[in-house]
Amino acid sequence: MITGLNSIAGLQVAQATEANSREIIRSSAQHARAIEHFRENIAAVETVDDLMGDPELYGFVMRAFDLEAQIPGKALMKKMFESDISDTSALVNRLTDPRFREIYKALDFGPDGVGTTNTLSQSWQDWMVDRYVTRQFLDARESENETVGRALYFREQAGGIETAFDILKDKDVAKVLRTAFGIPEATVGLDIDKQAELLLEKIDLETLSDPDEVTKIMQRYVAIADALSGAGAAQNTAVQLLQPRGSFAPVTFDFEMLSAVPQNPYR
């Protein structure tokens, strides 16, 4: 759908066709079967063993949280689901990837891995199906254009960002914001508190709950990312890289040019 387009145009097309793309996912034979199986069987799940005892159901839930690569690691997942989140040394708290905490809280099996009632809720089931479809949509766009996929992923996560550390624990969200606000990638080597300080100097976190502001950040990110990755970017009038020895490379953008991103023609 967006293969071959630059990221600015790709983002516009992806957003303009998003509703139709999601409907295609829901109605495709593969995903329609997966959704049907989930709806027919999830209410019977009360324990971790119930979930893992149905490979198709377990796979659906894992894919909804972008944890498909972890599907074979049932021993790890079982231990994580059965851990006590109130214990700072518990596995769920020691895994740094935020997706593990998200799936833990969504299933809410409890410390012993038994007794969840979330699965009985129709609204929870609808939320899980929506999350699964969203993940398929994001994966499809990312496979066509990584920059566009990352921008769309940022949009999905932006509303839940409350602290600078919420940004730093998600490498894709952090990359979008560093790029959009001109924070050098080299800062990832700094102390975590210093990284957080740099982010807060540039970003008003309250604006990340504003859809219009999030859209502007997405547009800014894809424009700058394209400029940085383009052939001969060092000579591009939009990107000037000055690299003094022993210090971070300051990056100067012609923001007047970059801000002239065409508005979405489908709006």
Encoding tokens for residue 68? Answer: 């498909």
CA dihedral of residues 169, 174, 175, 176 (deg, nearest 10): 140
127-186, pLDDT tens digit by residue? 999 999 999 999 999 999 999 999 999 999 999 999 999 999 999 999 999 999 999 999
Listed by start position, the domains of the chain span: 7-127, 167-230+238-258
The whole-number pLDDT of residue 246 equals 42
Neighbours of 237 (CB within 10 A): 9
Rounded distance, CA 110 to CA 82, Å? Answer: 6
Q: Tell which CATH architecture fits domain 7-127.
A: Orthogonal Bundle (1.10)
Type of residue numbered 229: S
Rounded distance, CA 261 to CA 258, Å? Answer: 6
DSSP string, 225-267: HHHHHSTTGGG-TTEEE---TTS---EEE-HHHHT-PPP-TT-
Say whether pLDDT at 237 is over 50: no
Mean pLDDT confidence for 54-80: 97
164-175, pLDDT tens digit by residue? 999 999 999 999
Whether the full predicted model's pTM is greater than 0.85, yes or no, is no
